[in-house]
């Protein structure tokens, strides 16, 4: 169990509006999952560098040349609301 207050705090950090019912569900489900996942805490990882990506890091360089692959129309066409080629949002405070 993760208490509901923590769940509400996490939801706020994640910018997710969740219902009271969802908060109750998540507090049980995430609590259960984390309890299971916590088994890794018993592993001795002293001095082990975390593996953040399995990619071979092979630096490569390309010319830093500006490219215009898309038109402003193409880049703004998917916006839920726009004014010309500008993104439109309600006034925010």
Partner 1 sequence: MNLTRATITEIVEAVKAKSVSAKEVTAHFLKRAEELNPKLNAFTSFNVNAVSQAEEIDARIARGEDPGPMAGVPFGIKEMLCTKGLVTNAGSKILQNFIPPYDATVVARLKKAGVVITGKLNQDEFAMGSSNETSYFGGVKNPWNLDCVPGGSSGGSAAAQAARLCAGTIGTDTGGSIRQPASFCGIVGVKPTYGRVSRYGIVAYASSLDQAGPMVSTVKDAALTLEVISGHDEKDSTTSQRKVPRWSQELSSNIKGMKIGLIKEYMQGGLHADVQKTVDNAVDALKKMGAEIVEVSIPMTEYAVPVYYLVAASEASSNLARYDGVKYGYRAEFQNLSAVELEDFYGKTRGQGFGKEVKRRIMLGTYCLSSGYYDAYYNKAGQVRRMIMNQYLEAFKNCDIILSPVTTSPAFKIGERVSDPLTMYLNDIFTTSTNLAGLPGMSVPFGMSSEGLPIGIQLTATHFEEQDMLNVGFALEDASPVKGKVPHVI
User: Residue 14 to residues 10, 11, 46, 54: CA-CA distances in angstroms?
Assistant: 6, 5, 31, 27
Closest distance between partner 1 and the C-beta of residue 88, in Å? 9
Backbone angles phi, psi at 82, to 5 degrees: -150, 160
Contact flag: residue 65 with partner 1 (CB under 8 A): no
Are 81 and 88 in contact by the 8 Å Cβ rule? The answer is yes
Closest distance between partner 1 and the C-beta of residue 84, in Å? 15
35-64 binders of partner 1 (CB under 8 A)? 36-41, 43, 45, 48-56, 58, 60, 62
Strand partners, 83: 86
Chain residues that interact with partner 1, rule: CB under 8 A: 2, 6-7, 10-18, 22, 26, 29-30, 32-34, 36-41, 43, 45, 48-56, 58, 60, 62, 69-70, 74-81, 87, 89-93
């Amino acid at each position: 169990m993760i208490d509901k207050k923590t769940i509400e705090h996490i939801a706020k950090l994640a910018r997710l509006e969740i219902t009271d019912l969802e908060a109750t569900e998540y507090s049980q489900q995430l609590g259960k999952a984390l309890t299971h996942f916590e088994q890794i805490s018993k592993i001795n990882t002293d001095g082990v560098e975390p593996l953040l990506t399995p990619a071979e890091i092979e630096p490569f360089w390309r010319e830093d040349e500006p490219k215009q692959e898309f038109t402003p129309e193409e880049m703004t066409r998917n916006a839920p609301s726009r004014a010309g080629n500008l993104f439109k949002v309600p006034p925010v405070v």
